């Protein structure tokens, strides 16, 4: 599911292909600039960078524009899934990489690492990043919804997907044709839904994982994680044909 990373080799494979990076952002003015700069670090590797601004009340739009991104304003429905879908629809490239906007230590090789499996193996349709997740002053312990909600429900209901280390990772890459064939969840269930839907269409062997090292971002307080967990469970259970009442 993963292989050695060789930037020079990936740059050679990338010739003849095009890459869009889509970054959903809501009130991420303090981090979005560094994320964009990391994406564009290798000249010519990424063809377009799209930031989808989800009703930010800070300077996310102006910072993203200043750093060279094309900024789209999310209209109407809010939510991460809708932001990803909007960016995907607006993209023009063969390969699409989704990245989070709140990363404090974005790697300049994130995009190259994410697209490497897609360039090397035509049977791969979706790539997920994985990483260590520090929590406060501890080296691990982040990704609580991932470990306590997403991975358990996948292990129980979807054979093979329990081996995905970071099913909720915002760092995701795929073929545009594959991604546009999916139905995007509007909220935080988008990542797990994408994983399940691609597996159903192409099988677990269509997935790849890549190591992105250690990822630091703003850790949310526990009370903010419950709505995220509900959306993740809702997406996984409805795809298993479990009828759920409206609301949470």
The residue with greater pLDDT, 114 or 144, is 114
Segment 215-237 mean pLDDT: 84
Which of 123-127, 130-134, 202-206, 223-227 is least confident?
130-134
> What was the pLDDT predicted at 246?
75
Residue 219: pLDDT band by 50, 70, 90 thresholds?
low
**CA 94 to mean position of chain CA atoms:** 17
User: Is residue 169's pLDDT more than 80?
Assistant: yes
Instruction: Supply the pTM of this predicted model.
Output: 0.93
Mean confidence (pLDDT) of the chain: 92
Segment 210-224 mean pLDDT: 79
pLDDT in tens, 96-114: 999 999 999 999 999 999 9
Q: How crowded is residue 137: how many other Cβ atoms within 10 Å of its Cβ?
A: 6
How many angstroms separate the Cα of 84 from the Cα of each of 74, 81, 87, 173? 10, 5, 5, 12
Any idea what the Cα angle at residue 168 is, between residues 238 and 222, rounded to 5°?
Answer: 95
User: Is residue 1's pLDDT more than 70?
Assistant: no
User: Is residue 63's pLDDT more than 80?
Assistant: yes
Segment 72-85 mean pLDDT: 94
How far is residue 83's CA from residue 216's CA, in Å, rounded to a whole number? 22
User: Which residues are CB-contacts of 61 (< 8 A; sequence separation ≥ 6)?
Assistant: 53, 71, 73
Of 93, 95, 87, 101, nearest in space to 184 by CA: 87
Domains of the chain in start order, with CATH, are: 7-238 (3.90.550.10)
**Side-chain half-sphere exposure of 10, counting CA atoms within 13 A:** 21
**Token pair for 101:** 């906007």
> What was the pLDDT predicted at 19?
98
> What was the pLDDT predicted at 132?
86
User: Which residues are CB-contacts of 157 (< 8 A; sequence separation ≥ 6)?
Assistant: 236, 237, 240
How far is residue 239's CA from residue 232's CA, in Å, rounded to a whole number? 11
pLDDT in tens, 33-47: 999 999 999 999 999
Helix axes 222-238, 190-202, angle to 10 degrees: 30
Backbone angles phi, psi at 141, to 5 degrees: 110, -10
> What was the pLDDT predicted at 141?
44
Segment 132-148 mean pLDDT: 66
How far is residue 58's CA from residue 33's CA, in Å, rounded to a whole number? 13
Helix (H, G, I), strand (E, B) or coil at 116: helix
> What was the pLDDT predicted at 137?
58
Beta strands 207-214 and 126-132 are parallel
> What was the pLDDT predicted at 133?
67
């Amino acid at each position: 599911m993963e292989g050695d990373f060789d930037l020079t080799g990936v740059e050679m494979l990338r010739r003849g292909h095009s890459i869009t990076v889509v970054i959903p952002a809501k009130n991420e003015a303090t981090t979005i600039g560094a994320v964009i700069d990391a994406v564009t670090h290798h000249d010519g590797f990424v063809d377009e960078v799209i930031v989808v601004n989800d009703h930010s009340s800070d300077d996310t739009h102006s910072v993203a524009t200043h750093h060279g991104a094309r900024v789209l304003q999310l209209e109407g429905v809010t939510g991460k899934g809708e932001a990803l879908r909007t960016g995907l629809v607006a993209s023009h490239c063969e390969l699409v990489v989704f990245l989070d906007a709140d990363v404090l230590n974005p790697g300049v090789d994130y995009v190259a690492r994410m697209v490497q499996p897609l360039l090397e193996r035509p049977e791969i349709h979706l790539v997920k990043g994985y990483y260590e997740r520090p929590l406060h002053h501890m080296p691990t312990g982040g990704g609580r919804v991932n470990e306590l909600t997403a991975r358990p429900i996948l292990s129980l209901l979807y054979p093979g997907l329990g081996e995905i280390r970071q099913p909720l990772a915002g760092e995701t890459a795929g073929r545009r044709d594959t991604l546009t064939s999916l139905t995007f969840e509007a909220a935080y269930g988008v990542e797990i839904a994408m994983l399940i839907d691609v597996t159903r269409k192409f099988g677990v062997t269509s997935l790849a994982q890549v190591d992105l090292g250690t990822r630091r971002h703003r850790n949310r307080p526990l009370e903010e994680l419950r709505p995220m967990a509900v959306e993740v469970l809702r997406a996984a259970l409805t795809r298993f044909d479990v009828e759920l009442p409206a609301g949470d």
